[in-house]
Structure 1
Amino acid sequence: MSVLARKGDFVLTASEVNPVVRALRSHDIEITALHNEEPRLFFMHFWANDEVSKLARGLEEALRHVNRKRE
């Protein structure tokens, strides 16, 4: 079993915040801070320490809720 400690950040619009929070929490990824700035963007910081595959699934699910450019 490979275990990984990971911290990271998301920059989100208001409509993306709750779905991303739910996705991360459902995979036991802890939200360590959430704050906003002008223009209306939210900065979310997270921390996780778990199996690599579980973290990957959680981050993948969270990214599905973010309006990002896909190549």
Structure 2
Amino acid sequence: MALMRKKLRNYFGEKSPGDAERQVYQALQPSAQEVAQWCATSCALLQRILAKNLSSVGKTTSTT
């Protein structure tokens, strides 16, 4: 669903929209819930990557 929305936003972004097209474009914008979910997912992934990197740094420095 989000991919289809993105494709449609790109399509409407290439044209000069009329009133009806402008309403459709606004309807295609992500909801606050979708934005919040994306942010939470991105933050969680970043935290996992940082934790993994920090644990590997600790192992490297403790063996030298």
Higher relative contact order (CA 8 A, sep 6+): 1
Bigger proportion of residues as strand: 1
Q: Which has the larger radius of gyration?
A: 2
What is the TM-score when the length of structure 2 is the normalising length? Answer: 0.29
